[in-house]
Amino acid sequence: MVKTYGSHTALSNIDLQVPQGSIFGLLGPNGAGKTTLIRIINQIIEADSGSIYFNGQALRQDHIQHIGYLPEERGLYKKMKVGEQLLYFAQIKGLRTADAKSKVQYWLDRLNVAQWKNKRIEDLSKGMAQKIQFIATVIHSPELLILDEPFSGFDPMNAEIIKNEILALREAGTTVILSTHRMESVELLCGYIAMINKSHKVIDGSVQEIRRNAKTNLFAVKLQKNSGMPFPQWEDLKEDQEHVSFTISLNGTAPNVMLRELMQYGEVIGFEEVIPSIGDIFIQKAKENDHA
């Protein structure tokens, strides 16, 4: 997939495969090209070259009926009442009036906002309006759900509600593309991720595989002290009266061999491999790409 704007390249040979029924994290710094890719999938703009396939078929205009898109810049009509607005969105996504009314009531009840049905959007709090926007995005039971910063504007309690709804939709078979800067959300929700930086893909794969490949052979160790035994100059050494903790690189030494060596300094009560978080990997890859 390639997209340029004059002399600026927004996407350069982006090739992604989103597993069906997964939550796929789309990561990258601001200006990396994520929003451009999302707009191409939603047929808001066209790519200069490349193809998108939806359920094995080349993307067509009518596929938009099976896609739900929550943009970062929310798009509710502030003067319309909540119920009327949701009914309108459901109908333009192809639901018949009776089905649309049923879906509106179902989601208002599910997210506990039915009491706001006859209120105008402009009379709602930001968090409440975000809930209504979420309902408008999923009301037609999309096969593909694209969420751009879905937790923006939510307090922790409502963010947890939306997180659980995303997981429930995934369990029901919906494929979710999640674009967010909240790395904790990626760790909790996503089975697969891709990172785009400066229009290029720099990471692509399962979260488990990416974290495993980023291992640095470091282990976090905690020891119960033995009296009188001096300690080597371990990295990040921290001591209190009873314990010492530090990180150590195995440098090719087998973990069991290292454990036996450590036991001469005290009882080993913690020995855990340090695996970088997705946030750490995100920052490292962005730095590498910036200097490439």
Summarize pLDDT for 107-124 with one digit per residue, the tens: 999 999 999 999 999 999
Run of H or E including 256: helix 255-262
Does residue 190 sit in the same domain as residue 259?
Answer: no
Largest CA distance in the chain: 80
- Domain count of the chain? 2
pLDDT tens for each residue of 230-253: 778 777 888 888 888 999 888 888
DSSP string spanning 121-190?
GGGS-HHHHHHHHHHHHHTT--SEEEEESTTTT--HHHHHHHHHHHHHHHHTT-EEEEE-S-HHHHHHH-
Buried b (16+ CB within 10 A) or exposed e, 217-237: ebbebbbebeeeeeeeebeee
280, part of any domain: no
Q: What is the CATH number of the domain that holds 144?
A: 3.40.50.300
Q: What is the pLDDT of residues 181-198, one digit of tens each?
A: 888 888 889 999 999 988
Distance CA(232)–CA(122), nearest Å, equals 64
Q: Is residue 283 part of a domain?
A: no
- For residue 40, being part of any structural domain is answered with yes
Question: Does residue 69 lie in a domain region?
Answer: yes
Q: pLDDT value at position 290?
A: 66
What torsion, rounded to 10 degrees, do the Cα atoms 25, 31, 36, 37 define?
-30
Residue 142, pLDDT > 90, answer yes
Encoded tokens for 198: 């400066």
Task: Reduce the DSSP state of residue 290 to 3 states and report it.
Answer: helix
Regarding whether 198 and 223 lie in a shared domain, the answer is no
- Looking at the structure, tell me whether residues 79 and 223 fall in a common domain: no
pLDDT of residue 177: 97
Per the CB < 8 A criterion, the answer to whether 4 and 48 are in contact is yes
Whole-number Å distance between alpha carbons of 151 and 222: 37
User: Of 62-71, 111-120, 219-228, which gets the smallest average pLDDT?
Assistant: 219-228
Q: Are strands 57-58 and 53-54 parallel, antiparallel or unpaired?
A: antiparallel
Residues 50 and 162 in one domain: yes
- Considering the domain architecture, whether residues 127 and 261 belong to the same structural domain is answered as no
Does residue 284 sit within a domain? no
266 DSSP 8-state letter: E
Q: Which of 150, 178, 207 lies at the terminal end of a domain, its last residue?
A: 207
169 and 236 fall within a common domain: no
pTM of the model: 0.86
Q: Is 281 exposed, middle or buried (0-12, 13-18, 19+ CB in 10 A)?
A: buried
pLDDT for 113 equals 94
Supply the pLDDT for residue 169: 97
Residue with tokens 């009531």: 105
Question: If DSSP codes are grouped into helix, strand and coil, which group holds residue 285?
Answer: helix
Is residue 288 in a domain?
A: no
Among residues 177, 207, 237, the one where a domain terminates is 207
Q: Are both 198 and 234 inside the same structural domain?
A: no
Average pLDDT, the chain: 90
Q: Is residue 289 part of a domain?
A: no
Residue 104 reports pLDDT greater than 90: yes
pLDDT confidence band for 143 (50 / 70 / 90):
very high
Residue 279 is assigned to a structural domain of this protein = no
CA dist., res. 171 & res. 228, Å (int): 56
Question: Tens digit of pLDDT for each residue in 255-283?
Answer: 899 898 888 888 899 999 888 888 888 88
Which residues span the domain enclosing 137? 3-207
Residues 182 and 58 in one domain: yes
Judgement on whether residues 243 and 109 belong to the same structural domain of the protein: no
Is the same domain home to 81 and 196?
yes
Are 194 and 227 in a shared domain?
no
Query: 177 and 230 share a domain?
Result: no
